[in-house]
Each structure stands twice: as C-alpha cells, then as structure tokens.
Amino acid sequence: DSIRITYPLAGDVLTSDESHRFRWDALGNTDPFTVSLSLDSGMTWNAYPAVSGDRRYFDLGLGDTLFLHCFLRVERNGQLAESGPFRIQHAADDLEVLFNCPDSMGLAWPPVEGASAYVMHRLGAQYMDSVALTSDTAFVFTGLVPGAADWFAVTALDALGRPSRRSIAIPRPTQLQNCQAGQDLFVESVLSPGPVLLQCQSDPAVRYVVRNGGSHAVEGFATGFQVNGNAPVNVQMTDTIAPGDSLLVELPQQSLGMANNVTNLFRVFASSLQEQFPPNDTLSMEVLRTGNFAWIPLQENFDNEVACSTSNVCDTPCDEVGLFRNAMNGGEDDIDWRVDTAGTQTADTGPALDHTMGDEYGRYIYLEASGGCTQQEALLTGPCL
C-alpha cells in the first residue's frame, strides 16, 4: 500500500499562474488520500480536500506566486510519500516582436518577478538552442537569413541562476516589421487572372502591381509567374521604380497552362537585382479553370436538382445548380443562388409553388434577401455555349 509521487519531483519547476496536476502511484482503490503542500521547506503544510481512493492525481491552480523551496506530501492509512524540493516561479511569456529586418529581429517581453537574467533561445537543427544571456527585457537577434524558418524563446533565471519554464516559442514574421530594406520589391496585387477562368475563353493576359518597399530606387528587375509545378515564365524588366512607387506589369497574352476542373496554384513574383528580402517577392493565389459545355438550344428548369440546405442560407454553400455554377463565396462573391422547393423560408420573398410543375415538389433557384444576406453579391455562371 506504499505511495510514490511521480510529479513533481525534486528539482522540478512549476510555473506560476498555471494549473498543475500532481500525480502519484499507489495500490488499492478504497481509502482516500490526503494531499498537503508546503511552500517553506516543510515548516508548515497546507492540507487540501481528500482525494478519492481510485484517483491518482490532484489538480491545483497556482496563483501569482514565487516560492523556491516547496514540498508535496501524499498520505493514506499511515503510508506517506514526500517529493521536493521543487520551485514555483514565473516564466517569461507574452513575447513581442519589436522589429523584423532582413538580417535581424528585435524581441521584448514583460519583466519576470524574481528573475536575475534571461536565456535567449533560437531554433537549431533539432532543438531550441541557447544563444545568449541578457539582464534586459529586450534582445536583438542578428545574423539572420531572410526566409529562414526561425523560432525564438526566452527562459527566465532566478536569483541563483536556476531556470523557469521556457516561454512558448514564436516564429519570425514572414514580412518586414518596423523596418525598411534598401532593396525590397514585392508583388502588391494580381489583377488578372481572377479566381475563375472559363475553359471556352482564351486565357487572359497576366496583369499585376509591383511596389518598391525599399529605401532605394529599383532600376530593372526580374519578374514572371508560375502555374502549379510548371516551368516559370521569366521576364526581365528595365523600368525604374522610385521608393514607395508602384508599377503596373502586363505580360503578353499566352496560354497559362492551367489544368481543367481543378484548383491551380498561381504564383506571381518580382525581385530587384539586389533584393534584400526575398520572402515577400511572391504572391500566390488559387485559380479554378472550369466550365461545362452545352449546345443551343439550352433548357434548364432545375426540377431534377437536389434542394440546397435551408440552414444558415447566407453562409452555407449550394454547389449543384444544374448546368450553372455558383461562384466561390468569399473569393468571387458573397452568397449563392439556392435550389429551393415549396416556398422560400421568408414569407413573400419567392414563389409558393414551382413554375414548371405548378406544385410544391418542383424546383427553382432564388436569392435569399433577408438577415445577413442583404446587400450581398451572388454570381451564377452559365455553361460555355
């Protein structure tokens, strides 16, 4: 009937302002356990409500406290187990990026009570490596590579140099922040193609806006686009773009090489000849090349279609609309045309009966115009004729 504490053990660090689950092992499930905690090296003990004999843990929320010599005691039927000393101390949290430049990043955090110094961590090949020690509550990481998958964290040390729990790691931002590079060209927006192309139409010319976010003028740059894993289309431009200015780029009309009836990954890129921050050079989007083919005369009464869901009609997509296609909500438009039957949900906003069959079993399409559907756009694309 002996008891063995499994958490926390001697030397462990428990973080303040967090809930912890104390654990132990023991045989037998009949008699309850008594759990006590000492915050002063065992001089005094705080007892907690009895724990059922079939449980092997006790949850306790630790407040805004700092104790460096704590012990846990678990008792039952004259059997006793103690664990300690362990510490309850604050950890560094709420890390904030002050700036992010091409080769450096500034990090700050609130002061930690009882901390004498802070260990700075950066993700290495496998682990969070300790790279520096500071007594300040801000630090600048240098020697960074633009686009590298960097993560950073902080560990507070107490007055004796003992570590608290390491902070939750945060990633390096993918964009510049409170910093301007000398040479920094990026694609600001794609004007053409749009999110949907029709198979029966020629592919449009690729048009996009390139902006100079750097502090120096850009004299000539490399640009182009890529579809899925196809070979990129590369173009060398000789234009000059002043700092802060933009340029509309229109490439010659050509086949884009997109696959039909699937979503294609379309990337547009622009880079100055002395580019200092490549991560923002590329703008990606998804393009669907679609379109059913149909012959004239064309007739569609929707009576063979499945009625769309009547739940959350403003937000729930309605994919099947006969020979027609609803645009993608949130990308091309806002809401969908809906296949309905036996009258619309909102009174007097649609027919009570189907036009073709003249009864409640026929189908028709309509736009909901109440609630959150008001002032929303809905695009319906017909087949290629």
Cα(139)–Cα(257) distance, integer angstroms: 48
Phi and psi for 205 in degrees, rounded to 5?
-70, 145
Q: What is the pLDDT of residue 172?
A: 95
pLDDT at 316: 83
CATH no. for residue 129?
A: 2.60.40.10
- Report yes or no: 90 and 107 within 8 Å, Cβ to Cβ: no
Supply the range of the domain harboring residue 227: 185-290
Q: Are residues 272 and 236 both part of a single domain?
A: yes
Does residue 337 form part of some domain? yes
Number of neighbours of residue 380 by Cβ within 10 angstroms? 14
Residue 179 is assigned to a structural domain of this protein: no
- Closest to 301 in 3D by CA, of 221, 250, 355, 231: 355
- Domain finish residue from 231, 265, 290: 290
Q: Do residue 284 and residue 304 come from a single domain?
A: no
| Residues 385 and 300 occupy one common structural domain | yes
Contact between 185 and 278 (Cβ < 8 Å): no
Q: What is the pLDDT of residue 381?
A: 82
Q: Quick check: is 180 in a domain? A: no
Question: Which of these, 342, 298, 344, 296, lies nearest to 322 by C-alpha position?
Answer: 298
**Overall number of domains in the chain:** 4
What letter would DSSP give residue 384? B
Any idea how long the chain is?
A: 385
pLDDT at 308: 84
Asked if residue 359 and residue 313 are part of one domain, the reply reads yes
Residues 140 and 159 sit within 8 Å (Cβ to Cβ): no
Between the two ends of the chain, the Cα-to-Cα distance in Å is 83
Give the other-Cβ count within 10 Å of 319's Cβ.
10
Strand partners, 241: 218
- Judge whether 82 and 24 are in contact, CB under 8 Å: no
246 in the same domain as 151: no
In the three-class reduction of DSSP (H, G, I as helix; E, B as strand; rest coil), residue 371 is classed as helix
Q: Are residues 115 and 130 in the same domain?
A: yes
* Token code pair at residue 210: 């390139």
**Residue position matching structure tokens 């890129």:** 269
Same domain, 195 and 285: yes
Task: At 369, list the tokens.
Answer: 């115009």
What is the block-wise mean pLDDT of the chain (385 residues), using blocks of 10 residues? 91 91 91 94 94 94 88 94 92 96 96 95 95 97 93 94 94 93 95 88 94 95 96 96 97 93 93 93 91 80 84 80 81 85 76 76 83 84 79
376's CB contacts (< 8 A; 6+ apart) are 314, 333, 334, 335
Global pTM reads 0.68
Q: For 20, left (φ over 0), alpha (ψ -120 to 50), or beta?
A: beta
Q: How far apart are CA 26 and CA 54, in angstroms?
A: 10
| 210 and 264 housed in the same domain | yes
Which pLDDT score, from 0 to 100, does residue 72 have?
A: 96
Helices (H), the chain: none
Identify the DSSP state of 21.
Answer: E
Are both 70 and 127 inside the same structural domain? no
